C-alpha cells in the first residue's frame, strides 16, 4: 500500500487549496461543508438517542408496560424521522459540494491545459502524461467524490467512536463477571471487547482482501487496454479494411480480452474467500456483544433485556466505526492513486510552462508588416533547423517556403504562429490584424457544417454567403447541408477537407494567411484554381505558403528555400519578376 506521508498530504493540499482557499466559491463551499459536519454530528446524536431508546423500550416490554411501550414507539417515530431528514439532506449537500468542486476544478484544469497551447507542448515534449483527457474527465470526478467521502466518513467514524465508546464504558460498569466464586468488574470491559473484535476482524479482512486491490486495479487497466484497442480500430477502420486486417485485429482483441477474463477469475476466487470470512464475521457480530454481556444478565441480573439490546447496539456502532477506519484501506489506495495522477498532470503542465518560458525567446512585437529578424528555430535537443533568418512580407505579397522533407518548413510556420517553444529572435506583425494558419490536415470540429466553416472565430455570416463560398471551392454538394451535424473528418476525403479549409479562409478573410501544405491533397488544376481564388478574394492579404510542388511558384512572388541544416536562401520567383518589400537581411 502506498504511504500516507507528508508528501501525500502536501499534494492533496496543493490540489485542494485553490478551491478552498482562493476561489470565488470558497465561502459557500466552506459553509456547505460546515453544514455537512453539523448534520453529521446531529445524526450521531440521534443514533446515540436511539441506542438509549432500545434499553427503555425493551425494558418496558419486559415489564409488560403497554402504555410505556407505545409511548416509546412514538419517540422512535420522532427520532427516526429526524434521522431520515438529516441523512437525506447530508447526502444531498455532499453531492452538491462534490459537483460544484468538480466543476471548478474542471474549469481550472481546462484553463491551464489549454493556456498558451500547453496541451500541444505537452505532446511535443512527450512529457509522459498519459491521457490528459482522462485526468480531466474521470480523475477529477473520483478525486472530489473520494476526498469528500473519505474525509466525511472518517470524521463521522471518529465522532461515532467518541460518543459510543463513552456509552459502552459506562455500560461496562454494570457488568460483573463471575470468576472462581467472586464477581469482578473490568473498567471499560465492553470497549476493550469491541476494540479487540473490530481490530482482529478488520485486520483479517484486510489480509484476505488485500490482493483484491491490485486485482481490481489490473482489471481496470486490462479493460482500458481492451477498449483502447477497439477504439484504434474505429479510428483506423478504413486502413484496416483496406489491408484486410480483420483476422489479425480479432486475434489482438481476443488476446486483450483473455487478460480481462483471466484476471476476473482471480477476482472471483479471491472474493469468494473474502465472502466466507466477511459473512461469518458479520453473523458473529450479532451475537458477540450478547455473549460478552450475558454473564451480567444471568449471573447478577444487573442489566435487563433492554440493557442487553443497548449494549448490542452500542457495540455494533463502535465496531462499525472502527471497521470503517481499518477497512477503508482499499478506497484509500485508490484515492492515493488519483491524487498522484492529478499531481503528476499538474507538474507536467508546470514543467512545460517553465520550459516554454526558458526556451521560448522569440520576441513578438508590433510591426507594420510580417517582420522576421535574426530568427533561430531549434529542435528540443538544441539542433538548429533555421539559422539567423531575416525577411519582411508586406500586405499583398505572397511567399512560398520550400525545402527538403524534414527541413523545418512546418516548424518555421509553428514558430511564426507562436506555438513552437524552441528558438530566439524577433517576429513582428501589425497589432490587431488577424493571422490564420491552415495546417496540412485540416481540423474539422464536431458540429454542423456551419460550425466547421466559421471555426475558430465564430464569424457571423449569412447562410447564402456560406453557400456561395462552398460553391466557389467546388463543394456544391454540401451547399444545402449547413445544418448537418456529422463526423466531417470521417465523411470527407482529405482533398475535400482541404477545400473546406480554403472555404474557411474565404469566410474569415484574414489579413495574414499561412498555409502549411494546405492544398497537398488536391490535384494541380484544383490547387491552382483555389490559389487563384484566394488571390482574387483577398487582394489585400499576405499569403505565406509551404509546399513542395513547383507549380505553386506561379502564385507567389518570393521563395524561401530552407536547406535543412539551418541555411536558407530567399529569392524572387522568376516569372513574377522581383517585387518590392521582401528583403533578405545581409548575411
Ligand atoms: N516534437 C518534435 N520533437 C522532436 N523533433 C521534431 C518534433 N517535431 C518535428 N521534429 C523534427 O523536426 C524536423 C523538421 O520537421 P518539420 O515538420 O518542420 O519538417 P518539414 O520540412 O515540414 O517536413 P515535410 O516536408 O515532410 O512536412 C524533422 O526532422 C522532425 O523529425
CB 378 within 8 A of CB 422: yes
Q: What is the pLDDT of residue 300?
A: 63
CB 585 within 8 A of CB 373: yes
Q: Cα dist. 434→35, 67, 426, 541 in Å?
A: 51, 86, 18, 10
Q: Of ligand 1's atoms, which has the minimum distance to the CA of residue 412?
A: 18
Q: Choose the residue to mutate in 380, 400, 406, 415 for probing ligand 1, maximizing ligand atoms within 8 Å of C-beta.
A: 406
Q: Is 409 in the pocket of ligand 1 (CB under 6 A)?
A: yes
CA distance 481 to 448: 8
406 CA → ligand 1 middle, Å: 5
322 burial via Cβ count (<10 Å: 0-12, 13-18, 19+): buried
Q: Is 410 in the pocket of ligand 1 (CB under 6 A)?
A: yes
| DSSP line for 355-393 | HHHHHEEEEEEE-SSEEEEEEEEE-TTS-EEEEEEEEEE
Strand partners, 363: 426
Q: Of ligand 1's atoms, which has the minimum distance to the CA of residue 546?
A: 22
3-class state of residue 303 by DSSP: coil
Residues with Cβ < 8 Å from 99, sequence gap 6 or more? 144
CA angle in degrees (0–180, nearest 5) for 34-168-294:
145
Q: What is the pLDDT of residue 575?
A: 61
- Nearest protein Cα to ligand 1, atom 19: 406
CB 375 within 8 A of CB 427: yes
CA angle in degrees (0–180, nearest 5) for 32-34-53:
115
Q: Of ligand 1's atoms, which has the minimum distance to the CA of residue 125?
A: 1
518 CA → ligand 1 middle, Å: 16
Q: Is 415 in the pocket of ligand 1 (CB under 6 A)?
A: no
355 CA → ligand 1 middle, Å: 19
Q: Is 572 in the pocket of ligand 1 (CB under 6 A)?
A: no
Q: Is 408 in the pocket of ligand 1 (CB under 6 A)?
A: yes
548 CA → ligand 1 middle, Å: 15
Q: Is 547 in the pocket of ligand 1 (CB under 6 A)?
A: no
585 CA → ligand 1 middle, Å: 25
103 CA → ligand 1 middle, Å: 38
What domains are defined for the chain?
6-356 (1.20.1560.10), 367-576 (3.40.50.300)
- Nearest protein Cα to ligand 1, atom 18: 408
CB 451 within 8 A of CB 469: no
Q: Of ligand 1's atoms, which has the minimum distance to the CA of residue 126?
A: 1
CA distance 486 to 498: 17
CA distance 205 to 277: 7
Helix (H) or strand (E) holding 399: strand 398-402
CA distance 371 to 426: 8
Q: Choose the residue to mutate in 379, 415, 519, 552 for probing ligand 1, maximizing ligand atoms within 8 Å of C-beta.
A: 379
Which ipTM was obtained for this model?
0.95
Q: Is 575 in the pocket of ligand 1 (CB under 6 A)?
A: no
CB 530 within 8 A of CB 502: yes
CB 566 within 8 A of CB 386: yes
Q: Choose the residue to mutate in 410, 417, 517 for probing ligand 1, maximizing ligand atoms within 8 Å of C-beta.
A: 410
Q: Is 90 in the pocket of ligand 1 (CB under 6 A)?
A: no
DSSP state of 404: S
Helix (H) or strand (E) holding 89: helix 66-114
Q: Cα dist. 154→40, 195, 325, 343, 492 in Å?
A: 11, 17, 7, 23, 55
> What cell was used for 403?
525545402
Series of mean pLDDT values for 10-residue runs along the chain (587 residues): 77 95 95 97 95 91 92 96 97 97 97 90 74 85 94 92 89 76 80 86 83 82 86 83 89 94 95 89 86 77 81 86 72 83 90 83 89 91 90 92 91 89 90 87 86 80 88 89 84 90 90 92 91 91 92 91 89 61 45
Q: Is 380 in the pocket of ligand 1 (CB under 6 A)?
A: yes
Q: Choose the residue to mutate in 126, 411, 422, 565 for probing ligand 1, maximizing ligand atoms within 8 Å of C-beta.
A: 411
Q: Is 123 in the pocket of ligand 1 (CB under 6 A)?
A: no
Residues with Cβ < 8 Å from 257, sequence gap 6 or more? 226
Q: Choose the residue to mutate in 356, 359, 409, 546 for probing ligand 1, maximizing ligand atoms within 8 Å of C-beta.
A: 409
- Nearest protein Cα to ligand 1, atom 17: 410
498 CA → ligand 1 middle, Å: 21
Q: Is 499 in the pocket of ligand 1 (CB under 6 A)?
A: no
Q: Is 411 in the pocket of ligand 1 (CB under 6 A)?
A: yes
Q: Of ligand 1's atoms, which has the minimum distance to the CA of residue 411?
A: 18
Q: Cα dist. 325→211, 292, 334, 466 in Å?
A: 19, 23, 15, 64
Q: What is the pLDDT of residue 579?
A: 44
379 CA → ligand 1 middle, Å: 8
Amino acid at each position: 500500500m502506498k504511504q500516507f506521508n507528508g508528501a501525500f498530504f502536501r499534494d492533496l493540499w496543493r490540489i485542494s487549496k485553490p478551491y478552498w482557499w482562493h476561489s470565488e466559491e470558497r465561502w459557500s463551499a466552506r459553509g456547505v461543508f460546515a453544514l455537512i459536519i453539523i448534520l453529521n454530528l446531529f445524526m450521531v446524536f440521534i443514533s446515540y438517542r436511539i441506542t438509549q431508546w432500545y434499553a427503555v423500550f425493551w425494558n418496558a416490554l419486559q415489564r409488560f408496560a403497554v402504555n410505556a411501550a407505545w409511548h416509546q414507539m412514538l419517540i422512535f417515530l420522532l427520532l427516526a424521522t429526524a434521522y431520515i431528514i438529516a441523512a437525506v439532506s447530508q447526502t444531498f449537500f455532499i453531492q452538491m459540494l462534490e459537483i460544484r468542486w468538480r466543476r471548478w476544478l474542471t474549469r481550472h484544469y481546462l484553463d491551464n491545459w489549454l493556456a498558451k497551447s500547453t496541451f500541444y507542448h505537452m505532446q511535443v515534449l512527450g512529457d509522459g502524461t498519459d491521457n490528459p483527457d482522462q485526468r480531466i474527465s474521470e480523475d477529477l470526478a473520483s478525486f472530489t467524490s473520494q476526498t469528500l467521502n473519505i474525509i466525511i466518513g472518517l470524521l463521522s467514524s471518529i465522532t461515532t467512536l467518541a460518543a459510543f465508546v463513552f456509552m459502552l464504558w459506562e455500560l461496562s460498569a454494570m457488568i460483573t463477571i463471575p470468576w472462581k466464586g467472586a464477581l469482578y468488574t473490568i473498567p471499560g470491559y465492553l470497549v476493550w471487547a469491541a476494540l479487540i473484535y473490530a481490530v482482529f476482524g478488520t485486520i483479517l479482512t484486510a489480509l484476505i482482501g488485500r490482493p483484491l486491490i491490485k486485482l481490481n486495479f489490473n482489471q481496470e487497466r486490462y479493460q482500458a487496454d481492451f477498449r483502447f484497442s477497439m477504439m484504434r480500430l474505429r479510428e483506423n477502420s478504413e486502413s484496416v479494411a483496406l489491408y484486410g486486417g480483420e483476422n489479425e485485429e480479432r486475434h489482438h482483441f481476443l488476446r486483450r480480452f483473455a487478460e480481462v477474463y483471466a484476471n476476473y477469475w482471480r477476482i472471483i476466487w479471491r472474493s469468494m474467500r473474502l465472502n466466507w470470512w466477511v459473512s461469518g464475521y458479520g453473523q458473529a457480530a450479532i451475537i458477540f456483544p450478547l455473549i460478552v454481556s450475558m454473564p451480567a444478565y444471568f449471573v447478577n441480573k444487573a442489566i435487563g433485556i433492554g440493557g442487553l439490546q443497548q449494549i448490542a447496539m452500542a457495540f455494533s456502532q463502535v465496531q462499525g466505526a472502527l471497521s470503517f477506519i481499518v477497512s477503508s484501506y482499499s478506497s484509500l489506495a485508490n484515492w492515493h492513486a488519483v491524487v498522484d495522477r492529478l499531481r503528476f498532470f499538474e507538474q507536467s503542465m508546470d514543467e512545460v510552462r517553465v520550459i516554454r518560458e526558458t526556451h521560448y525567446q522569440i520576441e513578438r512585437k508590433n510591426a507594420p508588416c510580417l517582420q522576421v529578424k535574426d530568427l533561430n528555430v531549434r529542435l528540443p535537443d538544441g539542433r538548429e533547423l533555421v539559422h539567423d533568418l531575416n525577411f519582411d512580407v508586406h500586405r499583398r505579397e505572397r511567399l512560398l517556403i520550400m525545402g527538403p522533407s524534414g527541413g523545418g518548413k512546418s516548424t518555421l510556420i509553428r514558430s511564426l504562429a507562436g506555438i513552437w517553444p524552441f528558438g530566439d529572435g524577433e517576429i513582428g506583425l501589425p497589432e490587431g490584424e488577424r493571422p490564420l494558419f491552415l495546417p496540412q490536415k485540416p481540423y474539422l470540429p464536431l458540429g454542423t457544417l456551419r460550425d466547421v466553416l466559421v471555426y475558430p472565430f465564430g464569424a457571423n455570416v449569412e447562410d447564402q454567403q456560406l453557400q456561395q463560398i462552398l460553391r466557389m471551392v467546388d463543394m456544391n454538394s454540401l451547399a444545402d447541408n449547413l445544418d448537418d451535424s456529422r463526423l466531417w473528418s470521417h465523411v470527407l476525403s482529405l482533398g475535400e477537407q482541404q477545400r473546406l479549409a480554403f472555404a474557411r479562409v474565404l469566410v474569415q478573410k484574414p489579413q495574414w494567411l499561412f498555409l502549411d501544405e494546405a492544398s497537398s491533397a488536391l490535384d494541380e488544376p484544383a490547387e491552382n484554381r483555389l490559389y487563384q481564388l484566394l488571390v482574387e478574394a483577398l487582394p489585400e492579404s499576405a499569403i505565406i505558403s509551404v509546399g513542395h510542388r513547383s507549380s505553386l511558384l506561379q502564385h507567389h512572388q518570393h521563395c524561401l528555400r530552407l536547406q535543412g541544416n539551418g541555411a536558407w536562401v530567399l529569392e524572387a520567383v522568376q516569372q513574377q519578376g522581383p517585387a518590392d518589400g521582401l528583403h533578405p537581411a545581409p548575411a
